[in-house]
């Protein structure tokens, strides 16, 4: 914990988690790659889960009045089921396969959204079949590497929700998913004193990031907000694919 390199990389990763919980989606997906510059990816995933949960609590308060109830009714059961599948298949499903799948889905969605941008399509409606598919994939990918953002966005972005509702729905959904991961993570890789103390020193970075993320979300115009989300989704997806190709 006294290592300045740890404070730099882990503090930046925690701030990225906070920014995402404050309403800037896709930013949080940078946290594991950033922390992996200092430690193994598996340890980074375990280390960051408490930070995600603490940031979730702040995000829940910030967006307590802004969320889509119908989408949460669909997505939360599907996401928890995805976490369960991730837990049961942890020993046979590789990170590489998950990264490639999520990356390809994200790139495909963004390219299709840009192709249809001029068509002025009406907002999509919440659907149980699509919600269970993408919600389940989001929970599964979140369990594997905190990378549940792209499937979630593939489902929710076409609904063209107000940005505060979009951000709040994302915050509430992943708050439940992260709590659902706590037991399985501890069973697969028990938390020790070093991991817990290492997470504690990151709490201020995460809290500052969460408040800053909420502030920026309110200041960014709706059109630019969703353009930023799409560009972020594309960048993260391409990064995941590049990691697979370089492996």
Is residue 37's pLDDT more than 70?
A: no
In the chain, domain spans:
4-246
Q: Which of 1-5, 30-34, 52-56 is predicted least confidently? A: 1-5
End-to-end CA distance of the chain: 30
Per DSSP, 159 falls in state: G
The C-alpha atoms of residue 144 and residue 139 are separated, in whole angstroms, by 9
pTM (2 d.p.)? 0.77
| C-alpha separations of 114 from 106, 209, 221, 238 in Å | 12, 30, 19, 16
14 phi and psi angles, rounded to 5 deg: -65, -40
Angle subtended at Cα 160 by Cα 157 and Cα 163, rounded to the nearest 5 degrees: 90
In percent, the amount of the chain with pLDDT more than 70 equals 89
| pLDDT tens per residue, range 120-141 | 677 889 999 999 999 999 999 8
Q: Dump pLDDT digits (tens) for 157-167.
A: 889 898 889 98
E strand residue ranges, the chain? none
pLDDT of residue 216: 82
CA triple 127-226-73, angle to 5 deg: 25
At residue 228, does pLDDT exceed 90?
no
Averaged pLDDT for residues 7-32: 80
């Amino acid at each position: 914990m006294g290592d300045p390199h740890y404070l730099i990389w882990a503090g930046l990763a925690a701030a990225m988690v906070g920014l995402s919980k404050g309403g800037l989606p896709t930013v949080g997906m940078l946290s594991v790659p950033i922390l992996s510059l200092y430690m193994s990816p598996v340890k980074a995933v375990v280390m960051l889960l408490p930070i995600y949960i603490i940031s979730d609590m702040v995000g829940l308060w910030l967006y307590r009045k802004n969320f889509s109830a119908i989408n949460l009714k669909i997505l939360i059961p599907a996401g928890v089921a995805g976490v369960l599948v991730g837990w049961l298949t942890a020993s046979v499903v590789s990170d590489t396969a998950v990264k490639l799948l999520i990356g390809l889905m994200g790139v495909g969605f963004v390219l299709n959204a840009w192709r249809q941008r001029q068509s002025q399509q009406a907002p999509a409606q919440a659907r149980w079949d699509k919600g269970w598919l993408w919600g389940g994939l989001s929970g599964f990918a979140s369990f594997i590497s905190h990378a549940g953002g792209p499937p979630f966005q593939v489902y929710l972005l076409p609904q063209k929700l107000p940005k505060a509702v979009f951000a709040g729905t994302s915050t509430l959904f992943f708050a439940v998913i992260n709590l659902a991961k706590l037991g399985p993570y501890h069973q697969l890789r028990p938390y020790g004193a070093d991991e817990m103390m290492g997470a504690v020193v990151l709490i201020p970075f995460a809290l500052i990031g969460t408040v800053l993320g909420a502030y920026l979300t309110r200041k960014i115009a709706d059109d630019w907000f969703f353009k930023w989300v799409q560009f972020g989704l594309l960048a993260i997806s391409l990064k995941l694919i590049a990691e697979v190709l370089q492996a």
